[in-house]
Amino acid sequence: MTGTIFGIGVGPGDPELITLKGARLLGICPVIAYPAPLEGESLARRIAAPHIPNGRVEIVIRMPIEASRFPAQDVYARAATEIAGHSIAGRDVAVLCEGDPFFYGSFMYLFAKLANRYRVEVVPGVSSLTACAAVLANPLAARNDVFSVLPAPMNETDLTARLETSDAAAIIKLGRHFAKVRDVLERLELTAQARYVERATLPAQRVLALNDVDAATVPYFSMILVHRRRDAWL
Ligand SMILES: C[S@@+](CC[C@H](N)C(=O)[O-])C[C@H]1O[C@@H](n2cnc3c(N)ncnc32)[C@H](O)[C@@H]1O
């Protein structure tokens, strides 16, 4: 019998925001795999830590946080081979993914390489979108609102056009792109309707007004939520 490969969404940061199913599987899978930056700690591993018993086999998948700047497919191919080896040997593997695996999640690249030949199951997680909305006390969208998810690396012209045709938006992957995004929101007179949070639900969480943010220190794990009416219920 081959083992099952579970892609487990571990939520945005607070270990209590892992689903019951995710926590149960973390307690029984003998092999745990997770992405990590080139140096330092894996956020997904840190979030899941309270649910992982000692003595598990661990596969660390190291790559730069902004994987688009790197031949990440080679890294995923090597990890997929290692994970497949455990599955063939009959061992279940839990692959950790920050937030939800199928919402810009790293697990999808392993899924693409494994799902046609092995038993792969996706366990959804609490996404950073809904977690940030809760932290900011800012419902994402209501009624027939058009809600957009906009990656901050997109260029100013596209960002402006997308914001102009959305009732509400989440701007993700801020990091070094924050200053550009703040300028665009200012030009569209949306600054007062925008809210910023970094590291939502983690101990280092910070909520700031846009104008109080130091653009030089904005982390990758940050987001702006903006609603044209400011509050979706209005
Ligand atoms: C590649 S996407 C991964 C999204 C993740 N799979 C999810 O479901 O939330 C990474 C982006 O999600 C957002 N993000 C993830 N976790 C966050 C957190 N705890 N606080 C704020 N933003 C977060 C940031 O905008 C970050 O750049």
DSSP string, 10-62: -BSS-GGGS-HHHHHHHHH-SEEEEEE-SSS--HHHHHHGGG--TT-EEEEEE
pLDDT above 70 covers a percentage of the chain that reads 97
- The residue with greater pLDDT, 73 or 196, is 196
65 pLDDT more than 80:
no
Q: Whose CA is nearest to atom 5 of ligand 1?
A: 99
**Residue 72 confidence (pLDDT):** 82
pLDDT at 107 over 90: yes
Per-residue DSSP letter, 153: T
State the distance from the centre of ligand 1 to the C-alpha of 109, rounded, in angstroms: 17
- Looking from the CA of residue 126, the nearest atom of ligand 1 is 8
- Tokens (6 digits) for 228: 């044209």
Residue 71 pLDDT more than 70? no
| Mean pLDDT value of segment 192-198 | 98
> Scanning the structure block, which residue is given the tokens 């702006």?
224
Q: Which residue minimizes the CA distance to atom 4 of ligand 1?
A: 104
**DSSP result, 133-144:** HHHTT-----TT
Which residue is listed with tokens 């996404």?
127
Q: Using a 6 Å CB cutoff, which residues line ligand 1?
A: 12-13, 98-100, 103-105, 127-128, 132, 172-173, 197-202, 220-223
**Ligand 1 centroid to residue 50 C-alpha, Å:** 21
Give, for ligand 1, the residue of 223, 224, 225, 226 to mutate: max count of ligand atoms closer than 8 Å to Cβ: 223
Is 133's pLDDT higher than 60? Answer: yes
Tally of helices (H runs) and strands (E runs) in the chain: 7, 10
93 C-alpha vs ligand 1 centroid, how far in Å? Answer: 23
Within 13 Å and on the Cβ side, how many CA atoms surround 94? 29
CB 225 within 8 A of CB 194: yes
Q: Where are the beta strands (DSSP E) in the chain?
A: 5-9, 31-36, 57-62, 93-97, 120-123, 147-151, 168-172, 194-198, 206-208, 222-227
**pLDDT at position 67 over 90:** no
Q: Which amino acid is at 114?
A: L
pLDDT category at 225 given cuts 50, 70, 90 is: very high
From 210, 206, 217, select the one nearest 191 (Cα to Cα): 210
Q: What does the pLDDT read at residue 64?
A: 81
% of the chain residues with pLDDT over 90: 94
Mean pLDDT of 44-66: 94
Task: Using pLDDT thresholds of 50, 70 and 90, give the confidence band for residue 233.
Answer: very high
Residues near 156 by beta carbon (within 8 Å), at least 6 away in sequence: 180, 183, 184
Q: Report how far apart, in Å, the C-alpha atoms of 77 and of each of 45, 87, 150 are.
A: 20, 15, 28
Choose the residue to mutate in 65, 128, 196 for probing ligand 1, maximizing ligand atoms within 8 Å of C-beta: 128
Instruction: Name the residue with tokens 């509400």.
Output: 168
